[in-house]
A and B are shown apart, each in its own frame.
Chain A
Amino acid sequence: MSLDASRGTVPAEIPAPAPAAATPTGWVHRGWRRVVRRPASAAGGVVVLVFVVMAIGAPWIATTDPLHADWSKIRKAPTRANPFGTDDLGRDNFSRVVWGSRISMQAGVFSILLAMAVGVPIGLVAGYYRGALDQLIMRLTDAWLAFPFLILAIGLVTIMGPSLTNATLAIGLGATPTYVRLTRGLTLSAKEEDYVLAARALGAGDLRLMRRHVFPNIFSALLVQATVSIPTAIIAEAILSFLGLGVQPPAPSWGTMLNTAQQFLESAPWMAYWPGLAIFSLALSFNLAGDGLRDLLDPRDY
C-alpha cells in the first residue's frame, strides 16, 4: 500500500538514537554495569582466565621440571623453593600443579568441543526434519543416556586403553547425548520463528537455513551449556586419572597426583591439598562464569 511512501519518510521520523547506547563507551559502560551486578561470576571468569594463562605459560611460570625426581627431597613440606612441597619422588608439587592445568584444560575443553561437534549437527538434523529420523535419533540418544556418564567413560577406556586422548574421547562421547537433546529442543522452537520462515520463503535451502539462520540463534544457549559441562568434564578427567584409567604417570595430572597423595596422607598431607584445590577452584570458576553468561545472554531472568 503506502509502504513505499512511508519508507521514504521513516528515517526522518526515527528519533536520534540515545548517544550513550551508540558510542563505544556506552557499550563498555553497559557491559561493565552487568559485570558489577554479578561480581561472583566476574571473579569466576577472571580465575578461568588465570588458569588459561597458567596452562599456556606453564614453562615460564613453573621453571622446575615437573618430571624431575630428586631423591634428596622426597616428601618435603612446603618451603620457599618448593611452595607446595615435594612428592614421593622428590618432584616439585607447585610445578606439577601448574603443568597439570594443561592436562585438565585440554581434557575439559577438547572433550566438550568433541561432544558439540558430534552432538550439535545430529540434534539440528533431528529437530529440523522431525519424523522417523528424529524418532530414531532420540531413541538412540535415550539408550546412550542410559549409561551413567562415568560408567560409560570407564567402559570406553576399557575398550580403547587408558591415555589422555582416550579419556578425552570417552568423556566427549559421554557428553554427546546432552548436546543432541539440547540442540534438538532449541532447533524445534527456533525453526518456527518468523525469520526462519521468511528465509525459507525467500528460497533458502535446508542446509542454509540450518547453518545461517537456526544455528546462530541457538549458539548462545549451547555456549552456556558448554561452560557448565566443561567443569564436569574436568572433574571426569581427574576421576579417570585418579582411578588410573586416564593420564598415565609420570605425567602431572591432578587426578594421578591425588591418587599418589592418598597413600601418604599421614606423612605428607600437602600432596593432597593443592591438586584438589586446583580442580575445585577451576570447576567452581567455570560454574560461576557459566551462571553469569547465562544471565547475560538470556535477559528473561532479570
Chain B
Amino acid sequence: MFAFLLRRVFISVVTLFLVSIVVFTGVRMIPGDPARVMAGTDADEAGLEEVREKYGLKDPVPVQYLRWVRLALGGDLGESIRTRQSVAWTVATKLPITIQLACFAVLIAVAIAIPAGVLAAVRRNTVWDLLASGASLCGLSVPNFWLGIMLILLFSVRLGWLPASGFVPFWDDPVGNLQRMIMPAFVLGTALAAVLMRQTRNSMIEVLSADYIRTARAKGLAQRAVVFRHAIRNGLIPVVTILGLQTGALMGGAVVTEQIFVVPGFGRLIVEAVFTRDYPLVQGVVLITASAYVLINLAVDVSYTFLNPRIRIRGSGR
C-alpha cells in the first residue's frame, strides 16, 4: 500500500512538472517580445528592463524556466499587467467566491443525483429509471449558459423572484448572498448532477448484482436495509472518484456561469484577463487551476486507499 501511495505521489509530481512546462512554453509561444508580453503594451523601457531582470529573459530558456518555477513555488506568479497587483493576491481574493459557488453546485448535484441514481438502479427498467436516465441525458446536453439565461428570464425578468446577477459577501448579507448564488449554483450543478447520476446508477446496478447482496436478501433482509445498509456503501465509492475528476469541468463551468450571472469570481477573472491580454494573470490562473486539479485527484486517490482496501491491490497503475 505504501508503494502504491508513493507511486501515486510520484506520478502527480511528474504531472505537475509537465503542467508547469506546458504553461511556461504557452506564454512564450505568444508572438512578440516576451518582456513586452509580460509587462504589457504600455510599459516603458524601464518597466521592460525590470521584467527582463526579474525573469532573466536574456538567460538560456532552461535557466529562465527554473527561475520561474522557483518564484512560482514561493507564491510569486508575477503581477497583473492591468492592475499591477500580484497575481497570487488577485487570485486569492477571487477564489473564495468561486469555491462557495462550486460547493453549492456540488451540494445541489449530489442532492439530485444520488437519490435519483439509486432509485433508477433499484427500480431498473421502470418508468423511474427511464425518467432519471432521460433527465441525465438532458442535463448532459443542455448548454449551461443557455440554461442560465432561461432561468434569469423566468425567475428574474418574468417572476421577479431573484436578482438576475451580482454578488454580495455571505458575511455582509447572508440572505442576499444565497439569493444571488442559487441560480448560478444550480446551473453549474446540472451537468455535474447528470454525470453523477449516470455513475451512481451504473455502480449501484453492479453492486446490487453482487453475491453479498444476494446473501443479504437470502437471509431475509428488507429491501430498504439491503439498499441502504449494504449496497450504498460500496456503490458510492466510484461516485467519489468521478466527483474528483469532475472538479476540472466544474472550474471550466464556473467560467461561463460567473460570466452570465456577473459573479466576480475566479472564472470572470480569467475571461477579463484574456480580453485585456493580461498574460501573467492568464498564466497564473491556468497554472493554479491545473495544479489544483492534480492535487485534488491525488487527495481523492489517497483517501480512497484508506477507505477501500481493494484499491491497494488493484490500483497499481493506470
Answer yes or no: A238 CB below 8 A from chain B CBs.
Answer: yes
For B142, list chain A residues within 8 Å (CB).
280, 283-284
Whether the Cβ atoms of B248 and A149 lie closer than 8 Å is yes
| Residues of A with C-beta under 8 A to B153 | 265, 269, 272
Q: Are A239 and B143 in contact (CB under 8 A)?
A: yes
User: Would A142 and B15 count as touching, CB distance under 8 A?
Assistant: yes
Tell which of A19-27, A74-82, A109-117, A241-249 binds the partner.
Answer: A241-249
Of A138, A142, A265, the residue contacting B149 (CB under 8 A) is: A265
Question: Taking A151-B255, A276-B146 as contacts, is the C-beta distance between A143 and B15 under 8 angstroms?
Answer: yes
Given contacts A142-B18, A146-B15, A146-B293, contact A159 B26 (CB under 8 A): yes
- Size range of the chain B interface in the assembly: 35 or more
B184 within 8 A of A: no
Per DSSP, chain A at the interface is helix
Taking the complex as formed, is A288 at the interface, i.e. its CB lies under 8 A from any CB of chain B? yes
- A-facing residues in B279-311 (Cβ within 8 Å): 279, 282, 285-286, 289-291, 293-294
- Asked whether B248 lies within 8 Å of A280 as measured between CB atoms, the reply is no
User: Do most interface residues of chain B lie in helix, strand or loop, or is the interface mixed?
Assistant: helix
List residues of chain B with CB within 8 A of the CB of A231: 140-141
| A265 contacts B157, C-beta separation under 8 Å | yes
Size category of the A interface is 35 or more
Residues from 128 to 187 in A contacting B, C-beta threshold 8 Å: 138-140, 142-144, 146-152, 154-159
Indicate which residue in B137, B275, B293 contacts A288 across the interface (CB closer than 8 Å). Answer: B137
Q: Is the CB of A276 within 8 A of B143?
A: yes
Residue of chain B at shortest CB distance from A240: B256
CA distance A154 to B15 in the complex (A): 21
Map CB proximity to A onto B211-227 as digits: 1 under 8 Å, 0 otherwise. Answer: 00000000000000000
Q: Which residue of B lies closest to A158 (CB)?
A: B274
B150 within 8 A of A: yes
Query: Would B286 and A151 count as touching, CB distance under 8 A?
Result: yes
**Interface membership of chain B positions 252-281, coded 1 if the CB is closer than 8 angstroms to chain A and 0 otherwise:** 110110011000000000110011010100
- Asked if residues B255 and A280 are in contact (CB atoms below 8 Å), the reply is no
Check B143 against A280 for contact (C-beta < 8 Å).
Answer: yes
Question: With A139-B18, A142-B18, A269-B153 known to touch, is A149 a contact of B143 (CB < 8 Å)?
Answer: no
Whether A13 sits at the interface, judged by CB under 8 Å, is no
Provide the A269-283 mask, 1 if CB < 8 A to any CB of B, else 0. 100100110011001
Against B, the Cβ 8 Å flags (1 = close, 0 = not) of A285-302 are 011100100000000000
B46 at the interface (CB under 8 A from A): no
B30 at the interface (CB under 8 A from A): yes
Is B19 among interface residues, defined by CB-CB distance under 8 A?
A: yes
B43 within 8 A of A: no
Check if A262 is an interface residue, CB within 8 A of chain B.
yes
In Å, the complex CA distance between A280 and B277 comes to: 32
Within the complex, which residue of B15, B141, B157, B274 is in contact with A269, where a contact is CB–CB below 8 Å? B157
Task: Pick 9 A–B contacts, CB within 8 A, sort by A.
Answer: A142-B14, A150-B256, A151-B286, A155-B282, A158-B274, A262-B149, A280-B143, A284-B138, A287-B141
Residues of chain A having any CB pair with chain B under 8 Å: 138-140, 142-144, 146-152, 154-159, 231, 235, 238-239, 242-245, 258, 261-262, 265-266, 269, 272, 275-276, 279-280, 283-284, 286-288, 291
